[in-house]
Chains A and B, each alone.
Chain A
Amino acid sequence: MNHRFPAAVIAVLSLAAPAAGQVTTKRTWTPPRTSWGEPDLQGIWDFATITPLERPSELAGKDVLTEQEATEREEQATQRRVDRPPKPGDTGSYNQFWFDAGTKVIATKRTSLVVDPPEGRIPPLTPEARKRGEARVALPPHPATGPEDLNLATRCILGFNAGPPMAPGAYNNNVQLFQAPGYVALLNEMVNDARIIPLDGRPHLPQNIRQWRGDSRGRWEGPTLVVDTTNFRDETNFRESSRNLHVVERFTRVDADTLLYQFTVDDPTTWTRPWSAAVPMRKTEGPIFEYACHEGNYGMFNILTGARAEEKAAAEAAQKGTR
Chain B
Amino acid sequence: MLFGFPSETASAFAGIRILAALTSKEFGSYMSGTMRNLFRGAFAAVAVLAVAVAPAAGQTAAYKAPRTADGKPDLNGIWQALGTAYWDVEGHAARPGAVVALGATGAVPGGLGVVEGGEIPYQPWAAAKKKENAKNWLTADPEIKCFMPGVPRATYMPFPFQIVQTPKSILMTYEFANASRVIYMDRPDFESPVDTWMGHARGRWEGETLVVDVTSFNDQTWFDRAGNFHSDALHVVERYTALSPAALRYDVTIEDAKVFTRPWKMSMPLYRRLDKNVQLLEFKCVEFVEELMYGPLRKKPSQ
Given contacts A147-B294, A187-B180, contact A36 B173 (CB under 8 A): no
Chain A residues within 8 Å of B179, by CB: 192
Chain A: number of interface residues, binned into ranges: 35 or more
Chain A residues within 8 Å of B190, by CB: 287
B146, A213: Cβ atoms closer than 8 Å: no
Q: How far is the CB of B230 from chain A (nearest CB, A)?
A: 16
Chain A residues within 8 Å of B69, by CB: 34-36, 181
Q: Determine if A72 is an interface residue (Cβ-Cβ < 8 Å).
A: no
Docked Cα-Cα span, A305 to B299, in Å, equals 10
B299, A287: Cβ atoms closer than 8 Å: no
B286, A157: Cβ atoms closer than 8 Å: yes
B164, A196: Cβ atoms closer than 8 Å: yes
B166, A178: Cβ atoms closer than 8 Å: yes
Task: Identify which of residues 162-209 in chain B touch chain A, using a CB-to-CB cut-off of 8 Å.
Answer: 162, 164-166, 168-169, 171, 173, 177-182, 184, 190, 194, 196-198
A185, B282: Cβ atoms closer than 8 Å: no
B279-303 vs A, CB cutoff 8 Å, 1 = contact: the mask equals 1111010110010001101110001
B298, A145: Cβ atoms closer than 8 Å: yes
B297, A295: Cβ atoms closer than 8 Å: no
Q: Determine if A12 is an interface residue (Cβ-Cβ < 8 Å).
A: no
Q: Determine if B231 is an interface residue (Cβ-Cβ < 8 Å).
A: no
Given contacts A183-B164, A294-B146, contact A178 B169 (CB under 8 A): yes
- Checking A142, A176, A294, A304 against B286 with a beta-carbon cut-off of 8 angstroms, the contacting residue is A294
Docked Cα-Cα span, A211 to B162, in Å, equals 18
Chain B residues within 8 Å of A295, by CB: 142, 147-148, 197, 220
Q: What are 15 of the A-B contact pairs (CB < 8 Å)? A: A34-B69, A142-B299, A146-B295, A147-B294, A155-B286, A179-B164, A180-B166, A183-B76, A191-B178, A192-B178, A205-B279, A211-B281, A211-B282, A287-B182, A290-B194
Ordered nearest first, which 7 A-B pairs have the shortest CB separation? A35-B69, A304-B297, A145-B299, A194-B173, A194-B180, A146-B298, A290-B196
16 other A-B residue contacts (CB within 8 Å) besides A155-B286, A180-B165, A295-B147: A146-B298, A157-B284, A157-B287, A179-B166, A185-B162, A192-B178, A194-B173, A196-B279, A205-B279, A209-B281, A288-B182, A292-B147, A292-B148, A295-B142, A307-B299, A311-B299
